[in-house]
Chain A
Amino acid sequence: MTDANLLLAVSGMLFALGLVGVVVRRNLLVMLMFLELMLNGVLLSLAVFTQLLGAEAGAVLMFLVFVVAAAEIAIAVPIVLLLVRAGHTLDPGSYAGLKG
Chain B
Amino acid sequence: MEGMLTFLVLLPLAGFLLNGLLGRRLGTGFVNGVGVGLPFLAFGIALWAWRTLEAGDGAPIVETVFTWAVIGEYSFEIAFYLDRLSAVMALIVTGVGALIHLYSVGYMKGDEGYARYFAYLNLFLFFMLLLVLGRSLLVLFVGWEGVGLASYLLIGFWFQDVAKARAGRKAFITNRVGDAGFLLGMFLVFTFAGTLEMDRINEVFAAGVVPVGVATAAGILLFIGATGKSAQIPLHVWLPDAMAGPTPVSALIHAATMVTAGVYLVARLSGVYLEAPAASALIAVIGVLTAFLAATIALVQTDIKKVLAYSTISQLGFMFLALGVGAYGVAVFHLFTHAFFKAALFLGAGSVIHALNGEQDIRLMGGLARRIPWTFGTFAIATAAIAGLPPLAGFFSKDEILWFALASGEGGSLSLWALGSLTALLTALYMFRLLWLVFLGRSRMEPDTERHVHESPVTMTGVLVVLAAFSVIGGWFGLSHYLEPLLPLPALRLDSALLHWAQIGFAVVLALLGLIGAAWLYRDGGKPADQLWQRFRRLHRVLDGKYFVDELYDRLLQRPWRWVSDRVFLRLGDRLLIDGSLHGLAALARWSAVAFTRVQSGSLHWYAWMTLFGLVAVLIWVWRYV
Interfacial residues, chain A to chain B (CB-CB below 8 A): 19, 22-23, 26, 31, 92-93, 95-100
How distant is the Cα of A68 from the Cα of B557 in the complex, in angstroms? Answer: 82
Assess whether B604 is in contact with A93, with CB atoms less than 8 Å apart. yes
Assess whether B612 is in contact with A97, with CB atoms less than 8 Å apart. no
Question: Which single residue of chain A is at the shortest CB-CB distance from B609?
Answer: A23
Total B residues in contact with A, Cβ cutoff 8 Å: 11
Contact A93-B605, Cβ < 8 Å, known A19-B612, A23-B612 = yes
Interface segment out of the listed B213-221, B487-495, B533-541, B595-603: B595-603
B1 surroundings in chain A (CB, below 8 A): none
How distant is the Cα of A31 from the Cα of B611 in the complex, in angstroms? Answer: 15
Report the 3 A-B pairs with minimum CB-CB distance, sorted nearest first. Answer: A99-B602, A96-B602, A92-B604
A94 to chain B, nearest CB (A): 10
Fill in one digit per residue for B609-623: 1 if any A CB lies within 8 Å of its CB, else 0.
Answer: 101100100000000
How distant is the Cα of A75 from the Cα of B602 in the complex, in angstroms? Answer: 21
A22 surroundings in chain B (CB, below 8 A): 608
How distant is the Cα of A19 from the Cα of B609 in the complex, in angstroms? Answer: 9
Contact A97-B605, Cβ < 8 Å, known A19-B612, A23-B612 = no
Assess whether B612 is in contact with A92, with CB atoms less than 8 Å apart. no
Assess whether A23 is in contact with B605, with CB atoms less than 8 Å apart. yes
A92 to chain B, nearest CB (A): 4
Given contacts A92-B605, A100-B600, 4 further A-B contacts (CB under 8 A): A93-B604, A93-B605, A96-B603, A98-B602
How distant is the Cα of A97 from the Cα of B601 in the complex, in angstroms? Answer: 9
Question: Which single residue of chain B is at the shortest CB-CB distance from A100?
Answer: B600
Question: Which single residue of chain B is at the shortest CB-CB distance from A97?
Answer: B602
Assess whether A23 is in contact with B602, with CB atoms less than 8 Å apart. no
Question: Which single residue of chain A is at the shortest CB-CB distance from B611?
Answer: A19
A26 surroundings in chain B (CB, below 8 A): 605
How distant is the Cα of A19 from the Cα of B611 in the complex, in angstroms? Answer: 9
B602 surroundings in chain A (CB, below 8 A): 95-99
B556 to chain A, nearest CB (A): 65
A84 to chain B, nearest CB (A): 15
B612 to chain A, nearest CB (A): 6
How distant is the Cα of A23 from the Cα of B603 in the complex, in angstroms? Answer: 11
How distant is the Cα of A99 from the Cα of B600 in the complex, in angstroms? Answer: 8
How distant is the Cα of A61 from the Cα of B600 in the complex, in angstroms? Answer: 34
11 contacts between A and B (CB under 8 A): A19-B611, A19-B612, A19-B615, A23-B605, A23-B608, A31-B604, A93-B604, A93-B605, A95-B604, A97-B602, A100-B600
B625 to chain A, nearest CB (A): 21
**Which of B601, B605, B615 neighbours the largest number of chain A CB atoms within 10 Å of its CB?**
B605
B601 to chain A, nearest CB (A): 6
A86 to chain B, nearest CB (A): 16
A32 to chain B, nearest CB (A): 11
A31 surroundings in chain B (CB, below 8 A): 604
Question: Which single residue of chain B is at the shortest CB-CB distance from A21?
Answer: B608
Assess whether B603 is in contact with A92, with CB atoms less than 8 Å apart. yes
Give residues 583-603 of B contacting A (CB, 8 Å).
Answer: 600-603
B107 to chain A, nearest CB (A): 74
B604 surroundings in chain A (CB, below 8 A): 31, 92-93, 95-96
How distant is the Cα of A96 from the Cα of B604 in the complex, in angstroms? Answer: 7
How distant is the Cα of A96 from the Cα of B600 in the complex, in angstroms? Answer: 10
B608 surroundings in chain A (CB, below 8 A): 19, 22-23
A8 to chain B, nearest CB (A): 15
Assess whether A96 is in contact with B609, with CB atoms less than 8 Å apart. no
A96 surroundings in chain B (CB, below 8 A): 601-604
How distant is the Cα of A76 from the Cα of B433 in the complex, in angstroms? Answer: 107
B471 to chain A, nearest CB (A): 88
How distant is the Cα of A92 from the Cα of B612 in the complex, in angstroms? Answer: 18
How distant is the Cα of A23 from the Cα of B611 in the complex, in angstroms? Answer: 9
How distant is the Cα of A87 from the Cα of B68 in the complex, in angstroms? Answer: 82
How distant is the Cα of A19 from the Cα of B615 in the complex, in angstroms? Answer: 10
How distant is the Cα of A23 from the Cα of B605 in the complex, in angstroms? Answer: 6
How distant is the Cα of A4 from the Cα of B602 in the complex, in angstroms? Answer: 40
B603 surroundings in chain A (CB, below 8 A): 92-93, 96
B382 to chain A, nearest CB (A): 86
How distant is the Cα of A96 from the Cα of B601 in the complex, in angstroms? Answer: 7
How distant is the Cα of A98 from the Cα of B603 in the complex, in angstroms? Answer: 9
How distant is the Cα of A24 from the Cα of B19 in the complex, in angstroms? Answer: 85
